[in-house]
A and B are shown apart, each in its own frame.
Chain A
């Protein structure tokens, strides 16, 4: 996509919204920390199977900014590596769910008739269960692992995009430019990808940002229930669950890991809200 004047106007409008900028800053810091985890984390070795009983259960202090856990691992380091796990989960899930759901919504909405009915009834079934319950059932019936958790979350997430895109396609498929493309003889695929999809892009992008937060939250919920990545992979949800066993004495374990999830969700929510405002006014 070339940067048009409208794009720069939109960016300027985004930059004038302090909350949206705050969100972008949070997301940027988290993403950088996750990518450069080995360099940024104070004790990178603590992300793996590391034991140091002398320094176990230390409350937050100058050496261990967020304290240490029951076997002496630095909580801050594990949180930074935990972000890597969460962001990989979010990107993988949406990397599967967004194209899949968008394709289903495009085809269903544009073709109409039986294809539409089939796609919509299938999404109805997936949306009839809270995502957490369905994802739990999928992971639980098989064997908990990180790959499976991602697949399960993607399986419960694509219908949202199918719904969203379907609705937009329905509302623009009789617009002049779509009809004229058809009259010239453009193929259905060309019309869907070349004419309709670009008009859905801003909405999909906004939802993508909001969903990064929600998917991270869902992934953390799964691992909180013991259905996520197995130990010793650092995972924010698992850290909250492990810390909960040591309440109230080692309170910082759950609170810091929980706060880390909160920060990620907040960042992506703020960016999503900001994008929505920008795109709404540009129309």
Chain B
């Protein structure tokens, strides 16, 4: 009985969140459509270049549907987007979605790696800091966090590149895999995972070495914020009577920090993690550019610099869908950890 009620709660919660998410994606589609149509210059002229005749431009305009009423154009755009058809890239002359499908796994791999580094080391750093409050590990970690938050992603990327790739020559400068190596057979598109599946350990090592610097520089500002918030909340929990109670019962300091202090402190951290993962999506545009990482974000930057209209629209739409999905996932995680939130939103 209790179990059924809980499942119903989760379902209602999920339905409400998905509904709100769809509304947001709809809003983004209107926004980007309006922006793309308000762009100065004729997309058909841009696609054909200055050498084309007026008649050719006119024909392409008709083909692209640019002479139709705006509402009709919008409906066609949405109908296409639902089938993942964003038209042809004006630059590569391939369907935009094919270009994106090529870059997506690379971006996903980078974001996952950065997300893991951020979560694990952020929470760890914050917890250590709180446990040794106002002693040297705390002071070191707080100063590091302060620096990490204020340093832009792309500066981190360049500094780490300079230190570890150029000067120490420990790690590769850019790219995803050394040229002498062949990519492992395509299964997930994540080179590291595919290498494990194929049992190619040398390739795995090489891929990890390429992944290290981009992932770390992408994660650092978020990592520092996670550490700061975890520390603040844990310090708060350490001051509560039930921590004192646990100490009086003779539990070890380590048990107290993990079981009593850390767990309740993690709830705000999870909410922040959601925001930071979204920030990762944005900052990936910078880090992928620095490390020539062949991902979707770098493609997006190039599309914007080349005014590749369809590609820009597609990248923005995909990022917004990713945002909505990640947020629902995070909300769901938080609601499982903290029953108060689940009950509140289901009501």
Which A residues form the contact surface with B (CB < 8 A)?
121-122, 124-126, 128-134, 136-143, 213, 217, 220-221, 224-227, 240, 244, 247-248, 251, 254-255, 258-259, 261-262, 265-266, 269-270
- Specify the main secondary structure of chain A where it touches its partner: helix
| B199 contact set on A, CB distance < 8 A | none
| A247 contact set on B, CB distance < 8 A | 158, 161-162, 166
| B290 contact set on A, CB distance < 8 A | 244
Count of residues in B whose CB is under 8 Å from the partner chain: 52
Whether A133 contacts B281 by the Cβ 8 Å rule is yes
Q: A133-B319, A221-B286 are in contact. Are A248 and B152 (CB under 8 A)?
A: no
| B31 contact set on A, CB distance < 8 A | 125-126
**For the complex of A and B, 9 pairs with smallest distance between CB atoms:** A130-B282, A140-B304, A125-B27, A258-B155, A248-B166, A266-B150, A132-B282, A265-B150, A141-B39
Whether B152 contacts A137 by the Cβ 8 Å rule is no
* Shortest beta-carbon distance from A275 to chain B in Å: 16
Which of B155, B161, B289, B319 sits near A262, CB closer than 8 Å? B155
Is B300 on the interface with A (CB-CB < 8 A)?
yes
| A240 contact set on B, CB distance < 8 A | 154-155, 158
Whether B278 contacts A251 by the Cβ 8 Å rule is no
CB-based nearest A residue for B21? A128
Q: Bound state CA distance, A121 and B307, in angstroms?
A: 29
Whether B283 contacts A132 by the Cβ 8 Å rule is yes
| A261 contact set on B, CB distance < 8 A | 152, 155
Q: Bound state CA distance, A251 and B165, in angstroms?
A: 13
* Shortest beta-carbon distance from A118 to chain B in Å: 11
Whether B279 contacts A130 by the Cβ 8 Å rule is yes
Q: A133-B281, A138-B35, A247-B162 are in contact. Are A128 and B152 (CB under 8 A)?
A: no
**Which residues of B from 244 to 298 have beta carbons under 8 Å from A?**
278-279, 281-283, 285-286, 289-290
Q: Bound state CA distance, A133 and B28, in angstroms?
A: 12
| A227 contact set on B, CB distance < 8 A | 304-305
Whether B162 contacts A248 by the Cβ 8 Å rule is yes
| A128 contact set on B, CB distance < 8 A | 24-25, 27-28, 320, 323-324
Q: List 28 A-B contacts (CB under 8 A).
A: A124-B20, A128-B24, A130-B319, A132-B283, A132-B286, A133-B285, A133-B300, A136-B304, A137-B32, A137-B304, A137-B316, A139-B304, A141-B304, A142-B39, A142-B40, A213-B150, A227-B304, A240-B154, A247-B166, A251-B166, A254-B155, A254-B162, A255-B162, A258-B151, A258-B154, A261-B155, A266-B146, A269-B149
Best-buried of B24, B40, B154, B320 by chain A (most CB within 10 Å): B154
Best-buried of B282, B303, B324 by chain A (most CB within 10 Å): B282
Interface string of B64-75 (1 = CB under 8 A from A): 000000000000
* Shortest beta-carbon distance from A222 to chain B in Å: 10
Whether A262 contacts B152 by the Cβ 8 Å rule is yes
* Shortest beta-carbon distance from B190 to chain A in Å: 22
Which of A126, A132, A251 sits near B285, CB closer than 8 Å? A132
CB-based nearest B residue for A255? B159
Whether B286 contacts A224 by the Cβ 8 Å rule is yes
CB-based nearest A residue for B284? A130
Is B193 on the interface with A (CB-CB < 8 A)?
no
Whether B282 contacts A226 by the Cβ 8 Å rule is no
Q: Bound state CA distance, A133 and B153, in angstroms?
A: 15
Q: Bound state CA distance, A254 and B158, in angstroms?
A: 8
* Shortest beta-carbon distance from A270 to chain B in Å: 8
* Shortest beta-carbon distance from B82 to chain A in Å: 18
Is B113 on the interface with A (CB-CB < 8 A)?
no
Is B23 on the interface with A (CB-CB < 8 A)?
yes
Is B312 on the interface with A (CB-CB < 8 A)?
yes
Whether B28 contacts A125 by the Cβ 8 Å rule is yes
Given contacts A128-B27, A132-B282, A225-B301, 18 further A-B contacts (CB under 8 A): A125-B24, A128-B24, A128-B25, A129-B282, A129-B320, A131-B282, A133-B315, A134-B316, A136-B300, A140-B307, A142-B40, A217-B152, A226-B305, A240-B158, A247-B162, A248-B162, A258-B152, A266-B150
| B136 contact set on A, CB distance < 8 A | none
Q: Bound state CA distance, A134 and B28, in angstroms?
A: 10
Q: Bound state CA distance, A213 and B279, in angstroms?
A: 16
Is B36 on the interface with A (CB-CB < 8 A)?
yes
Which of A121, A129, A137, A255 sits near B158, CB closer than 8 Å? A255
Q: Bound state CA distance, A137 and B316, in angstroms?
A: 8
* Shortest beta-carbon distance from A137 to chain B in Å: 5
Best-buried of A129, A136, A217, A225 by chain B (most CB within 10 Å): A129
Whether A141 contacts B312 by the Cβ 8 Å rule is yes
Q: A128-B323, A141-B36 are in contact. Are A262 and B285 (CB under 8 A)?
A: no
CB-based nearest A residue for B29? A125
* Shortest beta-carbon distance from B49 to chain A in Å: 18
Q: Bound state CA distance, A126 and B320, in angstroms?
A: 10
CB-based nearest B residue for A263? B150
Q: Bound state CA distance, A125 and B149, in angstroms?
A: 26
Q: Bound state CA distance, A132 and B320, in angstroms?
A: 13
Q: Bound state CA distance, A150 and B300, in angstroms?
A: 21
* Shortest beta-carbon distance from B174 to chain A in Å: 11
**Which residues of B from 29 to 61 have beta carbons under 8 Å from A?**
30-32, 35-36, 38-40
CB-based nearest B residue for A244? B158
* Shortest beta-carbon distance from A6 to chain B in Å: 25
Q: Bound state CA distance, A141 and B147, in angstroms?
A: 34
Which of B147, B159, B316, B323 sits near A258, CB closer than 8 Å? B159
Whether A136 contacts B285 by the Cβ 8 Å rule is yes
